[in-house]
Amino acid sequence: MRTLAEPRREIVTPEGVPLRFILAGPFERLAAFLIDAVIIVTAAVMIALALAFGLAFVAVNAFAILLMLAWFFLRNFYFTWFECRWQGATPAKRLLGLRVIDRAGGSLSADAVFARNLMREVEVFLPLVVFLVPDAVWPSAPGWARPLAAAWLGILALLPLFNRDHLRPGDIVGGTLVVRAPRVVLLEDLTEAVAAAPSGPRFSFTQEQLDLYGIYELQVLEDLLRRNTPLATLSEVARRIQKKIGWLAAPNEDAERFLRAFYAAQRARLEQRMLLGERRERKRAGSASTRRP
Amino acid sequence: MKSVEFRREREEAWRELERLLDRVDSSGLTALEPEQLMRLPVLYRAVLSSLSVARAISLDQNALDYLESLAGRAYFAIYAAKRPPGRTAVDFLLRRFPRAVRAFHRHVVLAALLMAIGVVTGRGLTLADPDHFYALVDEEMAGGRSPAASTDDLREVLYSKKDAVGALSVFATFLFTHNARVGILCAALGFAAAVPTLLLLFYNGVTLGAFSALYETRGLGLELWAWILPHGVTELLAIVLCAAAGLAMGESVLFPGRHARLANLALQGRRAGELVVGSVLLFLVAGLIEGLFRQLVHDILVRWALAAATAVFWAVYFRSAGREET
């Protein structure tokens, strides 16, 4: 998967190497929260049932005590416990491939995790209560105070939508960041196949032909070749490239083979220039033929 | 091509780290053999260096993404590692919590002062006109204790014998979870520039003051405090600590000081979080005292003695615990 367009944040590890993480979006985080909420409620119900069968007829008091404690700890420490034990992921975060990390790049400490989850009380619970049963929070509130309080809490709850890093108040207080941690599979290097190609016409490109495109185009091409792109698209891309670099296609030339060969040659050229300290990000305007003297 | 040779040389180590991390992801760090555990940081550093080199010489996007994600996963595994929970808890109780309280002593004093002002205000208002009591105390909370109630009824509350010991501990649990939640809320609201925290704290004091005045007018003042303080010392302290955490957070929102606002909030927020965790423990202690001890012991001297004992205990604890190394 290409990830160029997604916002990334750089974390400098204690070893001094910057790591770039893709920022988790507010909606996937909301989804993760909802799944976790469902897990919490389900767990509470299961505990209640288990206790009911085990205890209710014997000791009603013990039942009530254990249930209250279970609910309290589930509600306040579920997130903290998992994020401490599972390297910054709750079950739902893990399911969706999200992680909590330290914003400054250090290790994720228990107090940071606790602080970030402490704020859930004002981010989620309080707004919910305010909207559902306003009287429970502030019974004697004057009329004007209620919309004001609701607005205030609304701002807190919607904060992740309004800042660059999608920080919720808990992240701000805990100094944390939620990122996406996708698992990338290492695929074969595309140039290996070209080198190993058994026979057929060899493609050779002049340096000038290889000086037209930049890194961005190279990686778009890589992406095309790695996916199962339909032949028609490949032919069209090949045609455009050939036009730009002034390539005279041999009759019956295979578009995909051309593209692979061009990719290999182009990458070799760009990497060579990169070694010399020159990163070319984008293509040049015009084409090889028009620039010929 | 350089990048291709580079990948050939290093790929073995990448794959090895990937296998280790798959194992960690599925069954935790403890699933690794000792020698694998030793390999983990070595491989992590190797992959970090591969990543740095690859960024400089390779344009293979897939390989770069792969290294980035591999290094990220290894980073999670290594830097999220934590110490055994038992030792963390002991360390927290003996060092971090009392230190956090000392670090925030200005906020703690301010919070206590504010609550005291609330008490004085509530008491003054109610003494001036008993009808103020109705405006100051929520009816539900008063639970029938109001200027309209007879002195005997008011006394009854202080010495009520709830029947079974069992019901008492349910009550204790309820008090603990309820109070701890309010405390957490009080701290978390500090984020909103501390205003709600201040209001909550002040109002808490006012309620207390109003009750105090009500009982005083019936000549039950001392007995009321003997009823409140055995657990109240701990509970009020916990409230004050939570509020102090809220104030500290509010302060860093409003006056970030030398650091950037975000950095400062993160710094203060974590330490404030420690205050709150500790307070939850205090609420637990208070709930136990309130639910068990208070309903069982009716001797006023014993009640006062317990109040004094808890006060001395907390004072000594917060003054001296965890000091020897600093």
Q: Do A186 and B68 touch (CB under 8 A)?
A: no
| Separation between Cα atoms, residue A8 and residue B132, nearest integer Å | 58
Give the residues of chain A that fall short of pLDDT 50: 1-4, 289-293
State how far residue B321 is from chain A, nearest Cα, in angstroms.
Answer: 19
Residue with tokens 């690859």: B54
Residues linked to residue A18 through DSSP beta bridges, in sequence order: A12
Chain A hits for B188, CB-CB cut-off 8 Å, are 118-119, 121-122, 169
Q: Take residue B123 and report the two structure tokens written for it.
A: 């008491």
State how far residue B108 is from chain A, nearest Cα, in angstroms.
Answer: 18
Q: Do A186 and B11 touch (CB under 8 A)?
A: yes
Residue with tokens 């907390």: B314
Q: Nearest CB to B72: which of A21, A139, A191?
A: A21
| Separation between Cα atoms, residue A93 and residue A33, nearest integer Å | 8
Q: Nearest CB to B2: which of A3, A102, A271?
A: A271
| Separation between Cα atoms, residue B193 and residue B177, nearest integer Å | 26
State how far residue B222 is from chain A, nearest Cα, in angstroms.
Answer: 30
Q: Which of A92, A103, A80 is nearest to A30 (CA)?
A: A92
Chain B hits for A267, CB-CB cut-off 8 Å, are 1, 3, 59-60
Q: What is the DSSP string of B136-205?
A: HS-HHHHTT-STTS-HHHHHHHHT---S-HHHHHHHHHHHHHHHHHHHHHHHHGGGTTTHHHHHHHHHHH
Terminus-to-terminus CA distance in chain A, angstroms? 41
| Separation between Cα atoms, residue B178 and residue A275, nearest integer Å | 64
Phi, psi angle pair for A98, to nearest 5°? -110, 155
User: CB–CB of A106/A19 below 8 Å?
Assistant: no
Chain A hits for B81, CB-CB cut-off 8 Å, are 107
Q: Do B11 and A87 touch (CB under 8 A)?
A: no
| Separation between Cα atoms, residue A258 and residue A214, nearest integer Å | 18
Distances (CA, A) of A168 to A95, A97, A171, B185, B191: 21, 19, 5, 16, 11
Q: Which residues between 202 and 241 in chain B have a beta carbon less than 8 angstroms from any beta carbon of chain A?
A: none
Where exactly are the structural domains of chain A?
8-118+157-180, 190-291
Chain A hits for B191, CB-CB cut-off 8 Å, are 119, 122, 156, 169, 172-173
Q: Do A111 and B138 touch (CB under 8 A)?
A: no
State the angle between helix axes of B165-188 and A60-85 in degrees (0 to 180), rounded to the nearest 10. 30
Is any Cβ of chain A less than 8 angstroms from the Cβ of B72?
Answer: yes
Q: Take residue B2 and report the two structure tokens written for it.
A: 């350089």
Q: Take residue B245 and report the two structure tokens written for it.
A: 């955490």
Q: A249 in helix, strand or coil? A: coil
Q: Nearest CB to B174: which of A68, A223, A274?
A: A68
Say if strands A18-23 and A98-102 run parallel, antiparallel, or are unpaired.
Answer: unpaired
| Spacing of C-alpha B81 from chain mean position | 23
Q: Which residues between 245 and 284 in chain B have a beta carbon less than 8 angstroms from any beta carbon of chain A?
A: 249, 262-263, 265-267, 269-274, 276-277, 280
| Separation between Cα atoms, residue A199 and residue A119, nearest integer Å | 65
- List Cβ neighbours of B26 (8 Å cut-off, separation of 6 or more): none
Question: Quick count: other Cβ atoms within 10 Å of Cβ B108?
Answer: 22
State how far residue A192 is from chain B, nearest Cα, in angstroms.
Answer: 8
- Looking at residue B164, its pLDDT comes to 46
Chain A contact probe: residue of B59, B181, B253, B281 with most A CBs at under 10 A:
B59
Give tens-digit pLDDT for B252-280: 878 877 777 788 888 888 888 888 889 98
* Ramachandran category for residue B148: left, alpha or beta (phi over 0 → left; psi -120 to 50 → alpha): alpha
Question: Quick count: other Cβ atoms within 10 Å of Cβ B224?
Answer: 22
Q: Nearest CB to A3: which of B65, B192, B267?
A: B65
Say if strands A176-180 and A18-23 run parallel, antiparallel, or are unpaired.
Answer: antiparallel
Q: Take residue B179 and report the two structure tokens written for it.
A: 């109070």
E strands, chain B, are: none
Q: Nearest CB to A111: which of B169, B270, B280?
A: B270
Q: Do A189 and B4 touch (CB under 8 A)?
A: yes
User: CB–CB of A98/A24 below 8 Å?
Assistant: yes
Identify the H or E element spanning A21.
strand A18-23
Q: Do B61 and A219 touch (CB under 8 A)?
A: yes
Chain A hits for B72, CB-CB cut-off 8 Å, are 19, 21, 179, 181
Q: Which residues between 97 and 116 in chain B have a beta carbon less than 8 angstroms from any beta carbon of chain A?
A: none
Say if strands A98-102 and A8-12 run parallel, antiparallel, or are unpaired.
Answer: unpaired
Where exactly are the structural domains of chain B?
2-79, 85-320
Strand order across the beta sheet in which A8-12 lies: A8-12, A18-23, A176-180, A98-102
- Residues A171, A176, A179, A181, Cα dihedral to 10°: -140
pLDDT, one tens digit for every residue, chain B (326 residues)? 778 888 888 989 999 999 998 888 887 777 888 888 888 889 999 999 999 998 888 888 888 889 998 998 888 888 765 666 677 778 888 888 898 899 899 999 999 999 999 999 988 988 888 888 887 777 666 666 777 777 777 777 777 655 445 556 677 777 788 888 888 888 888 887 788 888 888 888 888 888 888 888 888 888 888 888 888 899 999 999 999 999 988 888 788 777 777 888 888 888 888 888 899 889 888 888 877 776 677 788 888 888 999 999 999 999 888 776 54
Is any Cβ of chain A less than 8 angstroms from the Cβ of B141?
Answer: no
Q: Take residue B231 and report the two structure tokens written for it.
A: 């657990």
Q: A10 in helix, strand or coil? A: strand
* Ramachandran category for residue A175: left, alpha or beta (phi over 0 → left; psi -120 to 50 → alpha): left
| Separation between Cα atoms, residue A161 and residue A163, nearest integer Å | 6
Q: What is the ipTM of this complex?
A: 0.78
